[in-house]
Structure 1
């Protein structure tokens, strides 16, 4: 009987050992955190784009870690905080965040103990004045002397990935459902004012020069902005072949037309490629497309656009969907 019991106990131990060997590596399989030990991908140091996102209700419940209980805030509006930031990297890469998303150390994200999830935060390194905008989608850090854990990419942008921690200031960028924006303790303003849409602006053209534009202020009120931004634009002008209109800068127009606002998506030497892309983008965003020939280069442009608010909204869409080098220009047809 004793021998039988011993054999059964040995078999049970072997089964448990085998199961442990087959269990996938957990979040803490790597004993100590680290920077990437090899390059998975190039870190994207582009700021997260703040926008309205409803809070996840399951992240608003109180929770306990290491014997301490935390009570998440119901809103991040008006939140400002100073303290030390740390960063987390390869140890957590690919594992789920508290928000149910997959942590990517190369994205501009962060962890905070009590901010609503998700939240957008402007982080300023108080030692070098570098800033980064991150999307908070995780909980932590659970150290008494640290207020936020940034991704490896965000720490790199702030210039402290080699030091481990940095003195920082946090300012929540809060969007409400009507696109009113509050940055830290600053007054709440409509999105158009937050994005600087009422000032003159300057962008670089392909030759290294500058193109300036000054647009009248949009009508007051967020609802006016929404109506203007969501209106349907006319179909793209086409030539006889049914492709977006092609213009040449070498010809002279009998009458000088006022300059209008466009988004320049690309500058290429292949006309067919430009036409193919412009047809898709024009249909997708419901705006006209033009391909002027300037200095033997075809400039793919979307527009003219109604105002600077619409230009900003379209530019953000393009930058977030595969055209990071798109920019605003002012030109005449």
Structure 2
């Protein structure tokens, strides 16, 4: 996947204005900014479509920046071509329009009119790369753009350098039965919260010791190519959102969520166990 440099990546943000909404006091940043790391392999997997009820929030007609938006009753047959943009740090960890927490490393997106949630396939018309995302937010409120993608989805489509890209957006037809294995994996998905990473296991041991007791109880590590990672969990997807907010507010603002491999979810590393 193309990646020139972090400088080029950050520079592209100058061309990318705020995505889901206009700046308000609830955001700590006035403009969007680049994350400090790239998505890992597990975070680059397409979302797996499943039947979900319409969210109780975010599905009424609304008005933003002087424009009225009529929410579609159904996504059936929806296909549209236009420009996609993406959003990152400014909105990371804040509530989406349907009441979830925005995770820039998840395969999600914002759309002005599709029902929430809706699964769509997004294809970059410049390189034919595609990804399936779950629409759970409203935006982008720019007439020339039709969808706002999460950072991970934009990376998958190789559109970070340009900031925007021409795309085709197609709603997923959920009337076609899915494989039982895929559906089962979605409902059993587990997540870790990564607090820190270091090649020095002693440093992480001290960091674990300094954690509040409620976090120490679920703190584990994993090791990848000599790099030790201090993790919390694994927990369910719903629990992971609350856990991420708690650890960030406890003095670890750089913590982030990562999907746990099945083997890791069932067999935690014991390096830092008391």
TM-score range (shorter-chain normalised) is 0.5 to 0.7
Match of 2:181 among 290, 293, 314: 314
SS at match of 1:317: helix
Aligned residues of 1:125 and 1:166 also touching (Cα < 8 A): yes
Distance between the aligned counterparts of 2:95 and 2:155, measured in 1? 22
Instruction: Give the number of aligned pairs.
Output: 168
- Residue 58 (structure 2) aligns with: 59
Shift of 1:51: 1.0
Q: Deviations over 1:33-60 (max 9, x none)?
A: 1220x23974701100101111124422
Instruction: Structure 1: give runs of 5+ residues left out of the alignment.
Output: 1-24, 182-190, 196-311, 326-333
Shift of 1:124: 0.3
Aligned residues of 1:125 and 1:169 also touching (Cα < 8 A): yes
Q: Which has the larger radius of gyration?
A: 1
Q: Scaled by the length of structure 2, what TM-score is found?
A: 0.57
Shift of 1:313: 1.1
Shift of 1:29: 2.6
SS at match of 2:86: strand
- Residue 127 (structure 1) aligns with: 126
Shift of 1:315: 5.2
Q: Deviations over 1:103-131 (max 9, x none)?
A: 00000000000000000000000000000
- Residue 86 (structure 1) aligns with: 85
Distance between the aligned counterparts of 2:158 and 2:34, measured in 1? 14
Shift of 1:61: 1.4
Aligned residues of 1:119 and 1:174 also touching (Cα < 8 A): no
Change (3 A) 1:52 1:315: closer
Instruction: Structure 2: give runs of 5+ residues left out of the alignment.
Output: 1-23, 190-259, 264-274
Aligned residues of 2:121 and 2:130 also touching (Cα < 8 A): yes
Distance between the aligned counterparts of 1:170 and 1:120, measured in 2? 10
Q: Scaled by the length of structure 1, what TM-score is found?
A: 0.47
Distance between the aligned counterparts of 1:167 and 1:102, measured in 2? 27
Change (3 A) 1:34 1:56: same
Q: RMSD in angstroms over aligned alpha carbons?
A: 2.2
- Residue 209 (structure 1) aligns with: none
